Chain A
């Protein structure tokens, strides 16, 4: 194995940890992050590196006699475009199309840029998804506009409360509460016909689909710490939504 200079090694470590951090913050599966970091390390002649990832932080040890580095992951959200971008940069680095310096600079750009769709477009998409699910779950066409509005509004409320309070389960609880209240109001005032299908359709954008998929795939790959904690998060999210709806229905 060829020895690499200290500055280059530090740059390589910064690059790997940044890649891992961006991927974990954007909702990639744990085993994919680990795989990406190890592949990048092997491409930089660090063949006996070790890496341990939990949803809260990443530990990376370049070799047995060098110090281990640690990075903390504070917030997580779903941003699949970032996952795909980091993935393609790491592919290019491994294939030798990019030097380490170039790869690190691209990672920094990815870390700083906001790739999210505009908020109004996300709300519109949530409304469209709710309206589609209303019909798919057997609702009537007369309820369609209500599901569209309530679904979009529920998503907007969750995102707003999340920014204000930073407590995810509370935000989902408030969102579900608002959805249930609005659906019952619409039906009781004589405009809507069936509150059940309106609520089911409108709640759909809040369902933790990413967490369920990631939990299953991580458990299968043997990452029990992150698999179980993501499963717990998915369960708590589902519980928060259920509690919000139940509170409305109990009146």
Chain B
């Protein structure tokens, strides 16, 4: 695997999707970085453990975490950053293979591809959910800490 090439390509792809979805101009580079981080996490997990469902979960999780952090930083909605980053993880080739096998009337093969595509879609959803819950807990904890700090300075 050619790391710099894949990083560059995923950066370009996510940035191009940023243009298609009309994200604000000054966030285009950040969108590309979100997509790149998601894809690199997905690829390295896949190469290490050879399980595309878990790898997609890890990729979606990191996309959502990075998007949340950037959303706080830019004071913009989180979807501005996450959508372009999620797209590379969508199981396009498996859905395509499922469709192709249905057309060729090889239904057993089609079902196995379709099931895998479905599991990967579920993994994307679960990755988003886990990241969301984790970030909410973290932000609540941080807000409490800040409140306590303010309380201490007032005393």
Contact = CB atoms under 8 A, between A and B. Distances in A.
- Interface range on chain B: under 10, 10 to 19, 20 to 34, or 35 or more? 35 or more
Interface residues of A, number: 50
A153 interface: no
Contacts of B119: none
B10 A88 contact: no
B69 interface: no
A220 B39 CA distance: 24
Interface stretch (B49-57, B81-89, B137-145): B81-89
A204 interface: yes
Contacts of B17: 125, 129, 205, 209
Nearest to A199: B96
A211 B43 CA distance: 24
Contacts of B128: 213, 216-217
Interface stretch (A44-52, A163-171, A241-249): A241-249
B80 interface: yes
B102 interface: yes
Interface stretch (A13-21, A98-106, A116-124): A116-124
B124 A212 contact: yes
Contact of A28 (B15, B79, B97, B103): B79
Nearest to B82: A213
B19 A121 contact: yes
Contact of A196 (B13, B96, B124): B96
A205 B27 CA distance: 19
Interface of A: 27-29, 32, 78-81, 83-85, 87-88, 91, 115-117, 121-122, 125-126, 128-129, 132-133, 135-137, 155, 196, 199-200, 203-205, 207, 209-210, 212-214, 216-217, 220, 238, 242, 245-246, 249-250
A210 B83 contact: yes
Interface in B77-110: 77, 79-80, 82-84, 86-88, 90, 92-93, 95-97, 99-100, 102-104
Nearest to B25: A81
Contacts of B124: 212, 216
Nearest to B2: A135
Given A28-B77, A132-B12, A205 B132 contact: no
A240 to B, nearest CB: 12
B68 to A, nearest CB: 12
B7 to A, nearest CB: 11
B16 A132 contact: yes
A136 B22 contact: no
Contacts of A79: 21-22
B6 A200 contact: no
Contacts of B10: 132, 136
A64 to B, nearest CB: 31
Contact of A80 (B6, B24, B93, B104): B24
B132 A220 contact: yes
B13 A128 contact: yes
